[in-house]
């Protein structure tokens, strides 16, 4: 039923609960987990609209660490995993990635909101993904 599962990560502890669920699904269905970190270009953009290279590099490094943590846990469980760090707006990139890579289900935590989103009261990335995704989204609290 599931061949490819997407686990978006922001490197927070909340991802671990979603990953536990994803690993069980992947084990049951002999599926591959795709770990995805999105470097939020909005955070790395100055008020002038220019990207700050140092901020992007730091966020990319955090992203590599975050997807590596997912990959390590999945590998320990004997689950195949692919890792990707991309740039963009998180909810849009997660939905686009799922569509472009034939993802069967997205498994994520609704508790990883960034401080920027809390301030702007835009709702969570997971809410927007659940609204826009063309595949099922499991929100693991």
- What's the domain range around 29? 4-139
Calpha distance 12→120 (Å, rounded):
20
Alpha helices in the chain (DSSP H): 14-29, 53-76, 90-100, 115-120, 125-132
Residues 6+ apart with CB under 8 A from 79: 23, 26, 27, 31, 32, 33
CATH assignment at residue 119: 3.40.50.620
According to the model, what pLDDT value does residue 48 have?
A: 59
pLDDT digits (tens, 9 = 90+) for 93-124: 999 999 999 999 999 988 764 555 444 434 58
Average pLDDT, the chain: 88
pLDDT beyond 90 at 137: yes
pLDDT at 94: 97
Tally of domains in the chain = 1
């Amino acid at each position: 039923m599931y061949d490819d599962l997407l686990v978006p990560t922001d490197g927070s502890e909340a991802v671990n609960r979603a990953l536990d669920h994803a690993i069980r699904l992947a084990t049951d269905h002999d599926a591959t987990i795709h770990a995805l970190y999105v470097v939020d270009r909005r955070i790395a953009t100055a008020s002038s609209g220019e990207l700050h290279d140092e901020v992007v590099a730091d966020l990319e490094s955090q992203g590599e660490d975050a997807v590596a943590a997912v990959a390590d846990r999945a590998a320990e469980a004997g689950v195949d995993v692919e890792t990707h760090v991309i740039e963009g707006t998180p909810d849009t990139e997660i939905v686009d990635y799922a569509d472009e890579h034939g993802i069967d289900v997205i498994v994520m935590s609704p508790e990883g909101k960034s401080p920027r989103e809390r301030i702007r009261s835009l709702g969570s990335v997971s809410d927007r993904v659940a609204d826009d995704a063309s595949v099922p989204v499991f929100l693991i609290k």
